[in-house]
Amino acid sequence: MIITFAPLPSYGKSHVISFLAMGLSKRGKKVLIIDLDPKLFITSFFVRQRNIYPGINSFQDIDIVSLPFFEYSFSTLNYNILSKMMQDTKINTSNYDFVFIDFKPGVSIVSMNAASFSNFILSTISTAKIKEFREGVQSIFQWMSYFNLDLKYLGNIIIAETKPEELAQQAYLGIIDALKPLPDEKINEVKKRIYPFNGTLDLVNFNTIIPVRRDLNDLKFTDKRKYPPVYRLLNYERTRSIINNLVDEFLNRINMA
């Protein structure tokens, strides 16, 4: 099962992947993260910077594949590059229950490779990012429609410092706006591939809100730290509750798809 996040330049994409990976692994699920960011940002949540190298890095029951994608040519419209990269690393994604793909935000050949490699996609949205959110989701819907990508859209995860209800409403309206450029028959097709997969969009936002807090934001594992900050996510009750709720919703949406 392959999961990828929407190519949006919004705050929190890598963080939410780490929350889900930790929560799922604690429930006995085998998790793989494919890190396509040239800065290997999400890898640094789990591995000390000086210990990161291209290839497989592991943390407890989570494997992180840190791929130097710059060695591959993304200059042409080729949707098979990611498959080639995985073959080169000799990693069989079918050995994992969940595979998350993280990459540098933006609509690019890298993000389109990730989308074509995936079964599901979801988005994060934070304050003041509604324009980028709408544009990114519009690209996803066009890929689903015109390139016949077999994707299902699991919904939006709201990351809010204040007024989460207002941001959730903006995210909902952003989904509506992103559908408008499609022909009517295409809109109906795509809406049935968006949670709750019955043509309505009222439940597209996750109920679990990710608050903007230091313990959830400061996850980079520097050489000065004894343990990776991501490790403590499930050690504190208020953080554990957020992650467990997020994982419950995530699994429910996967099961309904």
8 vs 137, more confident: 137
Nearest CA to 102 among 56, 54, 61, 42?
Answer: 42
Helix (H) or strand (E) holding 21: helix 13-26
Task: Read off the pLDDT of residues 140-172 as tens digits, 9 standing for 90 and up.
Answer: 999 888 877 789 999 999 998 888 999 999 999
What is the per-residue pLDDT for 252? 97
3-state secondary structure of 59: strand
Which domain covers residue 177, as residue numbers?
2-256
pLDDT score of 59: 87
Q: List, edge to edge, every strand of the sheet that includes 31-35.
A: 55-59, 62-66, 31-35, 98-102, 2-5, 120-126, 152-160, 210-211
Whether residue 53 has pLDDT greater than 90:
no
CA distance 76 to 27: 40
Instruction: Of 110, 218, 99, 198, give the one whose Cα is nearest residue 152.
Output: 198
User: Beta strand 55-59 with 120-126: parallel, antiparallel or unpaired?
Assistant: unpaired
What's the confidence (pLDDT) of residue 67? 77
User: CA nearest 135: which of 181, 103, 169?
Assistant: 181
Taking 90 as the threshold, does the pLDDT of residue 63 lie above it? yes
- C-alpha neighbours within 13 Å on the C-beta side of residue 156: 31
Which stretches does DSSP call E strand in the chain?
A: 2-5, 31-35, 55-59, 62-66, 98-102, 120-126, 152-160, 210-211
pLDDT value at residue 92: 87
- Please tell me the predicted confidence (pLDDT) of residue 1: 83
**Among 140, 148, 100, 147, which Cα is nearest to 2's?**
100
Report the domain count for the chain: 1
Q: What global pTM score does this model have? A: 0.92
How many C-alpha atoms does 182 have within 13 Å on its Cβ side? 23
Q: What is the CATH number of the domain that holds 238?
A: 3.40.50.300
Structural contact between residues 139 and 177, judged by C-beta atoms closer than 8 angstroms? no
Strands 62-66 and 55-59: antiparallel
Question: In the predicted model, is pLDDT for residue 75 greater than 60?
Answer: no
* Torsion sign over Cα 174, 139, 16, 104: negative
